Amino acid sequence: MNSIDNDEMKSTVLISTDQIQQQQEPIIIDLENESTSTSPFISSSILVNDNCIKKTNQIIHVASSEPSSSKQINNHRTMGYLSRWEKEPETYYRTMILNSSGELQESRQCWLRKKQDENGKITIGCFLCNKYQMIKNANGKINPWATYDYSVLALNKIKEHGLYNEKHIEAQELELNSKSKIQPDWKTTQSMIYTKHQQSIQNLMFTAIFICQQYHPLNSFEPLCNLQEKNGVNLLPAEVSGINYRNDCAALCFLQYTARILHQELVEKLNQSPILGEYFVFS
């Protein structure tokens, strides 16, 4: 009996020792695959720290409840202003400008603007909404794009404003209508007239030089000018203030003037030559 009791006592001690060791060992349970009904920690006090749940000698890992798509959106919004956004087609508007010839032509310019305050905070806005004072949207709410105070730095929001904002579309129409009616100022108009007049005289001189180079008679100057005028070349009228610029006498005057200018340029080049210049000085 004593031996039996000793054996039972030993086995009881071993079992209790194994239970104590099992209780002291840390247990890790993944809640993604573990049912909450079978979890041994439902009724016990649990300390939450970030993405894991802690209990004495036990750690239970919990999957993040935030989807990956929302993380990407948050990272996208906090990465700051990108200058390449200004090259997106949705950030351009149509307008009209005067070219070098004083003629209206269509142009596309960027409406996206960036504003940075003294603390370094960056906001964005719309040049058109600011120019035409589109302070309120169609729904009556304040339009932060008009004051350069839109704080969400996201490309999708920029595209949404450029494509679907009613006040922005209205400002685009006002801009296009306004620029379509612009006229050049007096100085620009005067310069354009002078340039066209100068070009018409230059074309007459080129015609006279062509006749001389091809050994044509000077009386062929007038019919050749008439032919060029029909082909759209800008020339002086046949008679201006009683002076005819398209007869053989006018052609001869153009040739003499051109020859005198070419002769002066040739003499200047010879004088500037390090070899021929000394020869002309001593001779």
Interval 126-178: pLDDT, tens? 999 999 999 998 888 999 999 998 988 899 999 999 999 999 999 999 998 88
Q: Token pair of 229, please?
A: 């005028």
30: pLDDT strictly greater than 50? no
Q: Tell me the average pLDDT of the chain.
A: 74
Stronger pLDDT, 281 or 124, i.e. the higher one:
124
Same domain, 173 and 85: yes
| CB 76, CB 154: distance < 8 Å | yes
Q: Are residues 167 and 197 in the same domain?
A: no
Instruction: Assess if residue 216 is contained within a domain.
Output: yes
d(CA 171, CA 129): 6
Domain boundary among 179, 210, 239: 179
Together in a domain, 27 and 55: yes
Residues with Cβ < 8 Å from 21, sequence gap 6 or more? none
Q: In this structure, is residue 66 part of a structural domain? A: no
Determine what percent of the chain is predicted with pLDDT higher than 70: 64
**135 and 216, same domain (yes or no):** no
Q: What is the pLDDT confidence band of residue 209, given thresholds at 50, 70 and 90?
A: very high
Same-domain pairing of 134 and 103: yes
Return the ∠ at Cα 183 (arms to 177 and 189), rounded to 5°.
165
Are residues 264 and 194 located together in one domain of the fold? yes
Q: What is the mean pLDDT of residues 173-201?
A: 76
Q: Is 32 among the domain residues?
A: yes
Residues 166 and 87 in one domain: yes
**Who wins on pLDDT, 36 or 198?**
198
Q: Identify which of 197, 108, 127, 139 has the alpha carbon closest to the alpha carbon of residue 168.
A: 127
Does 212 lie in the same domain as 156? no
- Which distant-in-sequence residues (6+ apart) come within 8 Å of 269 by Cβ? none
Reported pTM: 0.40
Q: Is residue 68 part of a domain?
A: no
Same domain, 90 and 136: yes
Q: Which among 127, 162, 179 is the end of a domain?
A: 179
Q: What's the confidence (pLDDT) of residue 51? A: 45
Q: Are residues 157 and 112 in the same domain?
A: yes
Same domain for 149 and 190?
no
72 in a domain, yes or no?
no
Q: How many domains is the chain built from?
A: 3
Q: Which domain holds residue 238?
A: 186-282
199: number of CA atoms within 13 Å, CB side? 9
Where is the domain boundary, 147, 179, 211? 179
Whether residue 239 sits in one domain with residue 161: no
